[in-house]
A and B are shown apart, each in its own frame.
Chain A
Amino acid sequence: MVSLSEFFAIFAMQGFNGLSVFCVLLLMALGLAIIFGQMGVINMAHGEFLTIGAYITYLLSHLTTTYAPSLQPFYFFGAVVLSFIVAYGFGYLTELLLISRLYKRPLDTLLATWGLSLAMQQTFRSIFGAKEVSATLPDWLLGSFKPTENIDIPINGLFMMVLTLLLTGTIFILLFRSRWGLQVRATMQNRVMSGAVGINTRKVDRTTFALGCGVAGVAGAAFTTIGSTGPTSGSLYIVDTFLVVVFGGAQSLIGTIASAFSIAQTQSTAEFFLTGSMAKVLTLSAVILILMLRPQGLFSVRVRK
C-alpha cells in the first residue's frame, strides 16, 4: 500500500513528468480554442501544423549541428520563432484557399481539413521520409532539477512551462487587450454588425486561423523535446486536443487551460498505476462521460438565444 506522502510524491513527480506533455497539449488546445471557439471551425489538420513546427525544429537542429556547431545551443529559440512564422503562413494560406470557402458548414470543414491532413502527412513523408527523426536537444535543456529528495523536475519541462506561460499570456493580452482582439471577439459574436462597422471580417478570420496554427507550430517545437517526429506525429494529439477544447467549454480560454491541466494530469497519474494504453482509455472515457453529463463543457455562459 502506498503511503500518503509517497502518493503525493508520485503525484507531483508524475505531474512534473507530464509537464511537457501538458505544455504541448495546452498549446495545441489554445490554438484550437482560438480557431474553434472563436470561429466555430473544426481544423482536423491542426495536428499537422504541430508536425510543421516539429520538422522545422529538427531541420534547424540538423543544420546547426552540421554547419554551425557554435550556434547549436541557441538554435532552439530560433526554432520556436521560425515554427510560429511558418505555421502561421501555412495557416493563412489554408484559410484563404479552403476554410473561407466553407463558411457556415462546420461538418464539411471537418471533412475537408481531414483531407488536407492526409495530403500534409504524405508531403511530410515525401520530403522527410517515413522514418521518425529527432532533433538534438541543446545541452542546457537536458538534466533535471532536484528541490527535494523525492522530486525530480526535468529542465526541459520547466523551459516548456515558461514558454507556454509566456505564449498563453501573450494570447490573452492580444485577445482581450488589443484592438485586433476586440475585432476578433466582435466578429465572433456578431459578424454582420462587425462588418457593418467596418471590420474586415474576412481578414480577421484569416489572421485568427493563422494565429491558431502558429501556436500549434510552437507546440511542435516543444514536442521535439519529448519525442521523435514522424509524418503522423500530429495525429497523436488531435483527438485529445479536441476533447480538451470541448471539455473546457470551447469559448472560454480559462476553461481550456483548466481542461488541459486536468486531462494531462489524469493521464499522467493513471499511467503510474495502469499501462499506458489503459490510462489513455480511462482518461478519454472519463472525459466523454463528463461531457455527456455536461455537454456545454466546464465553463460556459448562459445567454438568451
Chain B
Amino acid sequence: MSNAPIGFESTDHPVLAIEDLTVSFDGFKAVDKLNLYVQRNEVRVVIGPNGAGKTTVLDLICGKTQATSGSIRFNNHELTKMSEHAIVRVGVGRKFQTPSIYENLSVFENLEMSFPRGRKVFGALTFKRTADVVARVESVAAEIFLDQHLYTQADLLSHGQKQWLEIGMLLMQEPELLMLDEPVAGMSVSEREKTAQLLGRISQGRSVVVIEHDMDFVKSIAHKVTVLHQGKILAEGSMDKVQSDPKVIDVYLGH
C-alpha cells in the first residue's frame, strides 16, 4: 500500500503538540526534551529499539505517567495538567500493549461500557440500554469483525480478537486522537492484513499514533514515521527516508 501522505496537510495547528517533554525516573531520563507534532488525520508510527521511550510517550499523553517538565497540547487542552479520565473525555483514546478488556463481560457489554454516556455516577445509575446504544454497539462490532460474537464472553476470544475488541472499545468513545501500542503483536498474517484495513478505515477523520515493530505493517499504514532512541527523536519522515537514514540503520539493526 502506498505511504504517500494522503488526506492531511502540515499546518501551523497540529492536533497534538508535544514540546520539551521530559520525564525522569530517579534520575534516568526515559523521555528527554521531546518535540513531536501530529497533524489532523495523520497516521504517525513511532518506532525504535526497546527502551527507547515509546510506550512512555503514550503513557505521558494519556496521563498514566506524570511528566517532569514540558507540555503536551491537544487541541486547546494542556494534557499534562489533566487526570486520565478527563483526557479520555476530551477525545484521546489509548490502546494498551496487552489487551486490556473486561474478561468477565460479553463483547456487547465491553463495547457498551465505552459508550460515552452515563460516565458520571448518576448517569451510570440511570443509564438505559436504548436503541441508539444497541445500534452503535452493533455497528462498531461489525467494523472490528466481531459482529458474530456479540454475546461471547470476552475471555473466550482469541488474542487477535481481543486486540480488535479493545480497538472497538476505543472507537465507541469517538476519539479524535487514537493511540495504539503494538496493535498487531501476536497476530497471524491474515489478522495483520485485516487490522491494517481496519486502521485504514478508522483513521479517516482521526489522528492516529501507533507504536509498532512489524516493519511491513508500518509501511502499509504510516503517513510519517518517527524513530525514537533513548528518549529523543533520532529521525523523522517517510518510511523510505527513515529506513535509509544511516543513524537509524546504525542503532536499529533492522530492515
The 0/1 profile, CB within 8 Å of B marked 1, for residues 283-294 of chain A is 000000000000
Chain A residues whose CB sits within 8 angstroms of the CB of B65 once the complex forms: 304
The 0/1 profile, CB within 8 Å of B marked 1, for residues 265-305 of chain A is 00000000000000000000000000000000000011110
Complex alpha-carbon distance, A91 and B26, angstroms: 36
B21-38 at interface with A (beta carbon < 8 Å): 25-26, 30
Complex alpha-carbon distance, A258 and B33, angstroms: 37
B106 at the interface (CB under 8 A from A): no
Chain B residues whose CB sits within 8 angstroms of the CB of A301 once the complex forms: 26
Complex alpha-carbon distance, A138 and B56, angstroms: 62
The 0/1 profile, CB within 8 Å of A marked 1, for residues 133-174 of chain B is 000000000000000000000000000000000000000000
Number of contacting residues on A, CB 8 A?
Answer: 4
The 0/1 profile, CB within 8 Å of A marked 1, for residues 60-80 of chain B is 000001000000000000000
Complex alpha-carbon distance, A301 and B30, angstroms: 16
Chain B residues whose CB sits within 8 angstroms of the CB of A302 once the complex forms: 25-26
Complex alpha-carbon distance, A303 and B27, angstroms: 11
Give the size range of B's interface with the partner.
under 10
Chain A residues whose CB sits within 8 angstroms of the CB of B30 once the complex forms: 304
B125 to chain A, nearest CB (A): 26
B7-33 at interface with A (beta carbon < 8 Å): 25-26, 30
B61 to chain A, nearest CB (A): 16
Chain B residues whose CB sits within 8 angstroms of the CB of A304 once the complex forms: 25, 30, 56, 65
**Nearest chain A residue, comparing its CB with the CB of B26:** A302
Complex alpha-carbon distance, A303 and B25, angstroms: 6
Complex alpha-carbon distance, A203 and B251, angstroms: 44
**Nearest chain A residue, comparing its CB with the CB of B25:** A304
B138 to chain A, nearest CB (A): 36
**Nearest chain B residue, comparing its CB with the CB of A304:** B25
B94 to chain A, nearest CB (A): 15
Chain A residues whose CB sits within 8 angstroms of the CB of B26 once the complex forms: 301-303
A304 to chain B, nearest CB (A): 5
Complex alpha-carbon distance, A301 and B26, angstroms: 8
Chain A CB within 10 Å, residue with most, of B26, B30, B56: B26
Chain B CB within 10 Å, residue with most, of A302, A303, A304: A304
Complex alpha-carbon distance, A303 and B56, angstroms: 12
Complex alpha-carbon distance, A3 and B254, angstroms: 76
Complex alpha-carbon distance, A301 and B25, angstroms: 9
A293 to chain B, nearest CB (A): 17
A241 to chain B, nearest CB (A): 29
Complex alpha-carbon distance, A303 and B30, angstroms: 11
B24 to chain A, nearest CB (A): 9
Complex alpha-carbon distance, A35 and B56, angstroms: 32
The 0/1 profile, CB within 8 Å of A marked 1, for residues 102-145 of chain B is 00000000000000000000000000000000000000000000
A33 to chain B, nearest CB (A): 21
Complex alpha-carbon distance, A302 and B66, angstroms: 11
Complex alpha-carbon distance, A304 and B30, angstroms: 9
Chain B residues whose CB sits within 8 angstroms of the CB of A303 once the complex forms: 25-26
Complex alpha-carbon distance, A304 and B54, angstroms: 13
B219 to chain A, nearest CB (A): 30
Chain B CB within 10 Å, residue with most, of A301, A302, A303: A302
Complex alpha-carbon distance, A302 and B68, angstroms: 12
**Nearest chain B residue, comparing its CB with the CB of A301:** B26
Chain A residues whose CB sits within 8 angstroms of the CB of B25 once the complex forms: 302-304
Complex alpha-carbon distance, A304 and B55, angstroms: 11
Complex alpha-carbon distance, A3 and B65, angstroms: 50
**Nearest chain A residue, comparing its CB with the CB of B27:** A302
**Nearest chain B residue, comparing its CB with the CB of A303:** B25
A-B contact pairs, 9 of them (CB 8 A): A301-B26, A302-B25, A302-B26, A303-B25, A303-B26, A304-B25, A304-B30, A304-B56, A304-B65
The list of the 5 closest CB pairs from A to B, nearest first, reads: A304-B25, A302-B26, A302-B25, A303-B25, A301-B26
Chain B residues close to A by CB (< 8 Å): 25-26, 30, 56, 65
A303-B26, A304-B56 given; 5 more Cβ-contact pairs under 8 Å? A301-B26, A302-B26, A303-B25, A304-B30, A304-B65
